[in-house]
Chain A
Amino acid sequence: MAHNQDGNQKQVHYVGDSRVRVNSKEMLPPDYSQFPGKTEQFFPDFLLKEWMVAAVFLVGFMTLVMAESPPLGDIADPTNTGFLPVPDWYFLFLYQLLKYKWAAGPFISIGIIVVPGLLFGGLMLAPFLDTSKERRPLKRPATTWIAILSLLGVIGLTWAAEAEHVIQVSSSSGTPAKDKKIVAEQDKGYELYKKNACIKCHGDKLQGVQGPPLLGVGDRTKGEDEKLTRKDIEHIIDNGRGAMPAGMFQGSEADKQVLLNWLMQQKQK
């Protein structure tokens, strides 16, 4: 066996009977005596205190988990053309970038190679681009400014994506109805609908003319997984939305409720 303890200094020592050399040098961590101050043993002193940070963090995290149950929409339906796709929030900046004309279509390489390449390439190669010894951010203004501007850019794009998505969701005309029949044609609600301006924009058969079809508004989703409620419709009628002007309904409050009742009956599925 190569393993020997006979004190022959010259002989190489191996671990057991393998050819791996015994590493007599301990793997000593760098010495912190160069940093004056109260250094502390990692184990157990520091770790015992660090648990507190983890515990506080965990409490906050579990509070979030308990407060908001994770969303689950309807099962994926590839034929659902009205669905507005939205990636998880940390991809929004890229998603938004590719919507701009100068970064899409013929210029797609700008949106998909040049800008992300500069961003992530710059991030990756930061140690080789900023090779000065100086570590304080204020003492290396170029690096700091580039970083802050890129950061603002990413935040701005994310914000723009989110804002645009909110607008799109609120003005999407929901899922188009598959069935093309008006529910309860004899209802007084339909009379009111015809008497008011609604019919000009939404059509005599609710098929939609200048406005979106109202067939099936009764169980329509707005954008993602939320239902378009009676309250929403009332709000649209009172205040208008997008290209639909406010105050299109002329009549008593009671009549408006009749119209709303009838609209909510329009369920096609």
Chain B
Amino acid sequence: MLRAVYKWVDERLDVTPIWRDVADHEVPEHVNPAHHFSAFIYCFGGLTFFVVMIQILSGMFLAMYYVPDIINAHASVKYLQTEVAMGTIVRGMHHWGASVAIVMLFLHTLRVFFTGSYKNPREFNWIVGVLIFFMMLGLGFTGYLLPWDNKAYFATKVGIQIAESVPFIGSYLATFLQGGDMVGATTIPRFYALHVFFLPAGLLGLLATHFILIRRQGISGPL
């Protein structure tokens, strides 16, 4: 039955090459922890992606309750955390996941750096990777404000002051981030939009590029 359905779809859409392309590639021995335990360092990239998936899923659930305005933001997070079933766990996953994602990303960067995997012909993918790092930092910065507690508010204020001290473009940058001339009612929706639409869209685009390039170029050889 399943086979028949697959065949029906495949005849029309020719899906076999698409998934075959993902599935059919060889994993060389030197990156396979089953053969060399030390090859676990090659898992960091995959684990980063795994955490990003956790972030996206838990974030989608948080968005069901979160209200991005100065009056309700804090109350909605509090409600989510104290009243909603599993609320603490979902918020916990998103909160700790943010830190774990940065750690994993950092370890992955170190692995690529110290194995010299960024070298010819993979220069471009290295740059894409660094851009992914910036996106993740941006996600961390914008997400920190959203619970709208004192910690969030004052940290963001300091962050924006730092942005403001950039020569020439600083004041524009600060106005853009705040949506005005102070951290307040216009800042939360702005950070929220950046956090759930702009930056994730950029991140997913970069991740897609990252993975397509890996499939094109293959993983770097043994040292």
- Bound CA span A113–B21, Å: 43
CB contacts (< 8 Å) of B165 on chain A: these are 98, 108, 112
The yes or no answer to A242 lying at the interface (CB within 8 A) is no
Q: Who on chain B is nearest to A41 by CB?
A: B26
The binding surface of chain B is classed by DSSP as helix
Shortest distance in angstroms between A90's beta carbon and chain B's nearest beta carbon? 5
Contact flag A137-B114 (CB < 8 Å), given A61-B96, A65-B92? yes
Report yes or no: B151 in contact with A224, Cβ–Cβ below 8 A. yes
Which one of A47-55, A194-202, A211-219, A261-269 is at the interface? A47-55
Report yes or no: B167 in contact with A65, Cβ–Cβ below 8 A. no
Report yes or no: B116 in contact with A68, Cβ–Cβ below 8 A. no
CB contacts (< 8 Å) of B114 on chain A: these are 137, 144, 147
Q: Who on chain A is nearest to B222 by CB?
A: A35
The yes or no answer to B119 lying at the interface (CB within 8 A) is yes
Report yes or no: B81 in contact with A70, Cβ–Cβ below 8 A. yes
Which residues, 9 to 47 on A, are CB-close (under 8 Å) to B?
26-27, 29-30, 32, 34-35, 37-44, 46
Which residues, 4 to 46 on B, are CB-close (under 8 Å) to A?
17, 21-30, 32-35, 40, 43, 46
Contact flag A61-B100 (CB < 8 Å), given A29-B25, A37-B30, A70-B92? yes
Which listed residue, A46, A76, A89, touches B27 by the CB 8 Å rule?
Answer: A46
The yes or no answer to A75 lying at the interface (CB within 8 A) is yes
A61-93 Cβ-contact flags toward B at 8 Å (1 or 0): 110111011111111111010011111111100
Contact flag A39-B28 (CB < 8 Å), given A70-B92, A91-B159, A113-B167? yes
Which listed residue, A27, A58, A66, A90, touches B21 by the CB 8 Å rule?
Answer: A27
Shortest distance in angstroms between B153's beta carbon and chain A's nearest beta carbon? 3
The yes or no answer to A57 lying at the interface (CB within 8 A) is yes
Report yes or no: A133 in contact with B30, Cβ–Cβ below 8 A. no
CB contacts (< 8 Å) of A5 on chain B: these are none
Which residues, 136 to 191 on A, are CB-close (under 8 Å) to B?
136-137, 140, 144, 147
Contact flag A136-B223 (CB < 8 Å), given A53-B47, A112-B165, A113-B166? yes
Report yes or no: B144 in contact with A87, Cβ–Cβ below 8 A. yes
Contact flag A88-B144 (CB < 8 Å), given A65-B89, A124-B130, A135-B119? yes
Which listed residue, A39, A73, A109, A130, touches B29 by the CB 8 Å rule?
Answer: A39
The yes or no answer to B209 lying at the interface (CB within 8 A) is no
Report yes or no: B99 in contact with A89, Cβ–Cβ below 8 A. yes
Which listed residue, B23, B54, B92, B118, touches A69 by the CB 8 Å rule?
Answer: B92
Q: Who on chain A is nearest to B25 by CB?
A: A29
Report yes or no: A35 in contact with B34, Cβ–Cβ below 8 A. no
Which listed residue, B78, B157, B158, touches A95 by the CB 8 Å rule?
Answer: B158
CB contacts (< 8 Å) of A6 on chain B: these are none
Shortest distance in angstroms between B217's beta carbon and chain A's nearest beta carbon? 7
Report yes or no: A37 in contact with B28, Cβ–Cβ below 8 A. yes
B188-214 Cβ-contact flags toward A at 8 Å (1 or 0): 000000000000000000000000000
Shortest distance in angstroms between A23's beta carbon and chain B's nearest beta carbon? 10
Which listed residue, A32, A57, A134, A147, touches B28 by the CB 8 Å rule?
Answer: A32
Report yes or no: B149 in contact with A76, Cβ–Cβ below 8 A. yes
Which listed residue, A27, A57, A75, A126, touches B47 by the CB 8 Å rule?
Answer: A57
CB contacts (< 8 Å) of A248 on chain B: these are none
Which listed residue, B26, B117, B183, touches A135 by the CB 8 Å rule?
Answer: B117
Taking A135-B115, A225-B150 as given, write out 20 further A-B residue pairs in contact, using a Cβ cutoff of 8 Å, ordered by the A residue number: A35-B221, A37-B28, A37-B35, A40-B26, A42-B25, A43-B23, A50-B46, A61-B96, A74-B149, A76-B152, A80-B150, A86-B151, A86-B155, A87-B159, A90-B102, A91-B159, A127-B118, A133-B120, A147-B114, A225-B151
Ordered by A's residue number, 13 sampled pairs between the chains whose C-beta atoms are within 8 Å are A27-B215, A43-B24, A49-B34, A53-B40, A54-B50, A72-B81, A76-B70, A78-B183, A87-B155, A88-B99, A88-B141, A91-B140, A137-B114
Name A residues whose Cβ lies closer than 8 Å to a Cβ of B: 26-27, 29-30, 32, 34-35, 37-44, 46, 49-50, 53-54, 57-58, 61-62, 64-66, 68-78, 80, 83-91, 94-95, 98, 108-109, 112-113, 120, 123-124, 126-128, 130-137, 140, 144, 147, 224-225
